[in-house]
Chains A and B, each alone.
Chain A
Amino acid sequence: MAVRHEKDGAPGYALTTLESLIAWGRKYSLYPFTFATACCGIEVMGAFGTHYDLSRFGAEVVRFSPRQADVLLVAGTINYKMAPVLKRIYDQMLEPKWVISMGACACSGGFYNNYTVLQGIDKIVPVDVYIPGCPPNPEGIIDAVVRIQKIIETGAPRAAERWPLK
């Protein structure tokens, strides 16, 4: 049961204790599916590495099967050939799921404005958090994961619930 409230001017939802407990568990054990196609994939590997260490935030267990993953981390350029693959992977994930769009290419096509690059994955999947940068620092990825954790914690509506945009 969610009750709408305002805090610091930002809308949010207050959760019941059980839901808060579930949200707490969920946010600290995110299973990312790293859909890493290009250069951003190398920075994802850096984020999971020992220096930046994403496992401090609980998102350590990387699952390469969409059935087992929570968060779809799209890192890299998606072109028209790859787009159906991405959509299929997204559809195969189970609810609740979140999508992080990492890097300029995934957010909006990057500086590739041509016949082959999809100008942003939000044309085909709903995105919760966008990370700008080309490529973003691994700290950007950590920031995105923390934002997803905030979304889970406050019970804010996921992007998938507002999709498709009319």
Chain B
Amino acid sequence: MSIVLERLRERFPAEVVSTHSDFGDDTALVRRERIVEILAFLRDDPELRFDFAMDLTGVDYLGEEPRFEVVYHLYSLEKKRRVRIKARLPEDDPVIDTAVPVWPGIDWYEREAWDMYGIVFRGHPNLKRILMYEAFEGHPLRKDYPKAKRQPTIGPEE
């Protein structure tokens, strides 16, 4: 097992649900409760030093419970390593703590996950829609949102 996953398991034995390194990517599925601590540990630990938050996204596993998953991709400039951290969120309570205190650059990624999936980031400074227009209803990347749904437009009659 890679050093990242080992250190993570050692430090947060109760939080890490599962790990794998399929296709060469170290991945850890963790519980959402202490996510900020886990991410801060990954950033600050001298063996790991994940100073880049490369990506954050949500995934909608419609039909599975818990339905949503928040996926963080981190990169360490010093150690040249990558890791993927995932946390599952149930459908009726898709809330997770914001990671903005850990990396300020993750701000807009969380807004996008809110916009596209409806995942709420507790404590986010500005959780508003970012890609869709403000009056848009619904969360388009959810699997139950129809792909070709049309939106109201201003037209010649209006």
Q: B153 contacts which of A83, A114, A115, A164 (Cβ < 8 Å)? A: A83
Q: A116 contacts which of B140, B146, B157 (Cβ < 8 Å)? A: B140
Report how far A114 CA is from B140 CA in the complex, Å. Answer: 10
| Prevailing SS type, chain B contact patch | loop
A87 touches B154 (CB 8 A): yes
Interface size class of B (residues with CB under 8 A): 10 to 19
Report how far A124 CA is from B150 CA in the complex, Å. Answer: 14
* A80 at the B interface (CB under 8 A): yes
B156 touches A80 (CB 8 A): no
A115-137 CB contacts (< 8 Å) to partner B: 115-116, 118-119, 123-124
A84 touches B154 (CB 8 A): yes
Report how far A115 CA is from B157 CA in the complex, Å. Answer: 22
A94-126 to B contact mask, C-beta < 8 Å, 1/0: 000000000000000000011110110001100
B117-152 to A contact mask, C-beta < 8 Å, 1/0: 000000000000000110010001000011111110
Interface residue count on the A side (C-beta < 8 Å): 15
* B63 at the A interface (CB under 8 A): no
* A163 at the B interface (CB under 8 A): yes
A164 touches B132 (CB 8 A): no
Jot down 17 A-B pairs with beta carbons below 8 A, ordered by A.
Answer: A80-B153, A81-B132, A83-B153, A84-B154, A113-B147, A113-B148, A115-B145, A115-B148, A115-B150, A115-B151, A116-B132, A116-B140, A119-B150, A123-B153, A124-B153, A124-B156, A163-B156
B154 touches A83 (CB 8 A): yes
Please give, as numbers and ranges, the residues of chain B lying within 8 Å of A163 by CB-CB distance: 156
B155 touches A124 (CB 8 A): yes
Q: Which residue of A lies closest to B156 (CB)?
A: A164
A115 touches B155 (CB 8 A): no
A123 touches B132 (CB 8 A): no
A164-B157 CB under 8 A given contacts A80-B133, A113-B147, A115-B148:
yes
Report how far A123 CA is from B132 CA in the complex, Å. Answer: 20
B154 touches A114 (CB 8 A): no
Q: Which residue of A lies closest to B155 (CB)?
A: A124
Q: How far is the CB of A134 from chain B (nearest CB, A)?
A: 19
B94-123 CB contacts (< 8 Å) to partner A: none
Report how far A84 CA is from B135 CA in the complex, Å. Answer: 13
Q: Which residue of B lies closest to A80 (CB)?
A: B151
Q: How far is the CB of B92 from chain A (nearest CB, A)?
A: 24
Please give, as numbers and ranges, the residues of chain A lying within 8 Å of B148 by CB-CB distance: 113-115
Please give, as numbers and ranges, the residues of chain A lying within 8 Å of B145 by CB-CB distance: 115
Q: How far is the CB of B141 from chain A (nearest CB, A)?
A: 10
Please give, as numbers and ranges, the residues of chain B lying within 8 Å of A115 by CB-CB distance: 140, 145-151
Please give, as numbers and ranges, the residues of chain B lying within 8 Å of A119 by CB-CB distance: 150
